[in-house]
Amino acid sequence: MPDINSAPATLKCNICGGEIRKDFLTGTAVCAHCGNKWSLSDVLPEYLKYASAIEKIKKAQVLLNGKPDVSNVAQAKLLFQNASTECLHTDATSSELLAICKSGQKECENLRIYATAMGFYDRKSYRQALEEFKKIPGVKDSASRIEECKVLAEKEKKKLIPLAAIVALIIPTVLGILMKEKLDIPIYVIIPACLVLVAGLTYAVYRGGTLATVVMVLSFICAVPLLLFMVLAYGLHMETGPAASIAIGAPIAFIVAVGLKTSAEKPN
């Protein structure tokens, strides 16, 4: 929340000469030395002409004081922006209120990121939450959330190892079949080579990133033709040539048929 007392005091106490601190949200002025209190309207003649802007700032801070929410933060930011357009005069009060609005808008941006991070956190998307929290290490409990998300993200990552191994198995299997059927490479050469490739691809998928995405896409593309080929060639003992043609052609034909059917059903 913006520090509403951060604006420099320009008034002096008429009792002790101490600096007067202004709180625009409560409409009071307090001496920092003796504690004497006044209404801001009494010490600042121009105070009342900013009533609308101050009311907007109050509403914005009420929104920021609640649980961080992207919608509330957006409303608060808009209120600060609108309030700032009403503080374009040349007096000191205008400058102080503009500073509060600027600080408020900065806080809104930080809380927007925090709310986004918490959304990922609540959905257990810890890696995405971690990236967002890292942008605002000093906001609220972001520092502790960063450490927590690191631990939770690593735990979630380890759970994906079996899935990563399954995904990584598809491409080496396809290559192994090609090496055996087309190149007639001995099985004792194919198996170690495929195992090494499986290990490498499993690690790539586990690590994430662009390479992992490429591996997963290729694996899913190859999965159906591979299953069809294995059923036809090894289950039904079909010749490898026709089996491969059907395994590749059938999924493509299915996709084309679905596409044509969808296009035909669209209204002109």
pLDDT in tens, 151-177: 998 888 777 778 778 878 888 888 888
DSSP 69: -
Q: From CA 228, how far away is CA 221, in angstroms rounded?
A: 13
Q: Which range scores top for mean pLDDT: 12-16, 103-107, 218-222?
A: 103-107
Q: What is the mean pLDDT of the chain?
A: 82
Q: From CA 134, how far away is CA 116, in angstroms rounded?
A: 12
pTM for the structure as a whole:
0.60
Beta-carbon contacts of 30 under 8 Å, excluding residues fewer than 6 positions away, are 20, 21, 23, 36, 37, 38
**How do residues 68-107 score in pLDDT, each as one tens digit?**
788 999 999 999 999 999 888 777 888 889 999 999 999 9
Strand order in the sheet with 19-23: 11-12, 19-23, 28-31, 37-39
Q: From CA 9, how far away is CA 33, in angstroms rounded?
A: 13
**Mean pLDDT value across residues 210-221:** 80
Residue 9's pLDDT band (boundaries 50, 70, 90)?
very low
Indicate the Cα dihedral angle 45, 50, 55, 56, nearest 10°: -160
Q: How far apart are the first and last CA of the chain?
A: 55
Q: Which pair of tokens denotes residue 100?
A: 């509060």
DSSP H or E stretch at residue 12 = strand 11-12
What's the one-letter identity of residue 174? V
Q: Does the pLDDT value for residue 39 go beyond 90?
A: no
**How do residues 99-145 score in pLDDT, each as one tens digit?**
999 999 999 999 999 999 999 999 989 989 999 999 999 888 999 99
Q: Does the pLDDT value for residue 5 go beyond 50?
A: no
Q: Does the pLDDT value for residue 33 go beyond 70?
A: yes
Q: State the sign of the Cα–Cα–Cα–Cα dihedral 42, 84, 11, 4.
A: positive
Strand partners, 12: 19
Q: Which pair of tokens denotes residue 215?
A: 């591996």
Residue 10's pLDDT band (boundaries 50, 70, 90)?
low
DSSP readout, 111-157? Answer: HHHHHHHHHHHHTT-HHHHHHHHTT-TTSTTHHHHHHHHHHHHHHHH
Q: Tell me which residue of 83, 66, 78 sits closest to 24, measured CA to CA.
A: 83
Q: From CA 156, how far away is CA 125, in angstroms rounded?
A: 9
The helix/strand/coil state of 38 is strand
CA 4 to chain centre: 30
